Structure 1
Amino acid sequence: MEAKRPRSKVTLEAARLLGRRVALGRRERRWTLADLAERVGTSEVTMRKVERGDPTVALGTAFEAAALVGVRLFSHDASVRAREAELVDARLAVLPARTRRRAVDDDF
């Protein structure tokens, strides 16, 4: 059994908020948990974890559920998303591709 990884308070709060928003969107559409699980292509157990904000759920699964019930994660406008991706790519282009730990010479 894998050891439980510690999660920051912010991570847990964000996962819980996303899960609650997914639950709200599902209920507003009058979908059962089984309906959403089928649309996402996963099990009801996994969908329950998404709605509880379990941070161990695959990111793609949580995002797919969110998208299906109308939770806005990013702009719905494809051109806005493309522009944002270009800006991020431009910033990444000027940064080193790899980061390395700097050796610290602390011998006095």
Structure 2
Amino acid sequence: MSRKPHSYSAVTADALGVLGRQIEAERRTLQWTQADLAERAGVSRQTLMAVEQGSTSPTIGIVFEIATLLGIPLVGASASESRRNIDARLALLPSRVDRTRSAVNDDF
């Protein structure tokens, strides 16, 4: 059984494009060739080219690793601060989502 191709929203495509351009700009600023960065990241030059072009094919781990190697921040605040904020938020939310609740009958 073949997999159905996934379509991505315009926002997702734009974000991948922006991150890819950031990666390319930072690589050029550091005067690294695509081959240099690909070797440091442990990926092929073709994979790096796909990342820089904003392709949806490379895994998120590869994209994040390349960005990290270049010193591109992945979250607005520091990772540890973001983690604390998210953990605090998750602590306030229910641990499970109950899908079996019946609809509220407010027709009176």
How far apart, CA to CA, are the structure 2 residues paired with 1:31 and 1:2? 37
Residue-by-residue CA offset, 1:46-90 (whole Å, 9 max, x unaligned)? 1111001012211111011111122222368xxx43232112101
2:25, 2:80 → 1: CA distance? 28
Say which SS state the counterpart of residue 68 (structure 2) adopts: helix
Gaps of 5+ in 1: none
Aligned-partner Cα distance in 1 for 2:21–2:27: 10
Aligned to 1:49: 50
Q: 1:75 & 1:100 partners in 2: Cα distance?
A: 32
Q: What TM-score, normalized by structure 2, do the two folds share?
A: 0.81
**CA–CA distance in structure 2, aligned partners of residues 30 and 93 of structure 1:** 44
Give the SS at the match of 1:93: helix
Matched, 1:19 2:20: yes
Alignment of 1:1-108 (within 5 A): 1-74=2-75, 80-102=78-100
Quick one: which amino acid aligns to residue 19 of structure 2?
Answer: L
Code of the residue aligned with 1:46 in structure 2: it is: T
- What's the TM-score, normalizing by structure 1? 0.81
Identity %: 38
Instruction: List per-residue Cα deviations over 1:6-34 (Å, max 9, x = no partner).
Output: 10100000000000000111111111111
1:9–1:102 Cα change, 3 Å: farther
Residue type matched to 1:101 in 2?
R
Once the two structures are TM-superposed, the CA of residue 102 in structure 1 deviates from its matched residue by 4.8
Q: Using a 3 Å threshold, how does the CA distance of structure 1 residues 82 and 24 change in structure 2: closer, same or farther?
A: same
State the number of aligned residues: 103
CA distance in 2, matches of 1:69, 1:83: 21
Q: Which amino acid aligns with 2:72?
A: V
Q: Which has the larger radius of gyration?
A: 2
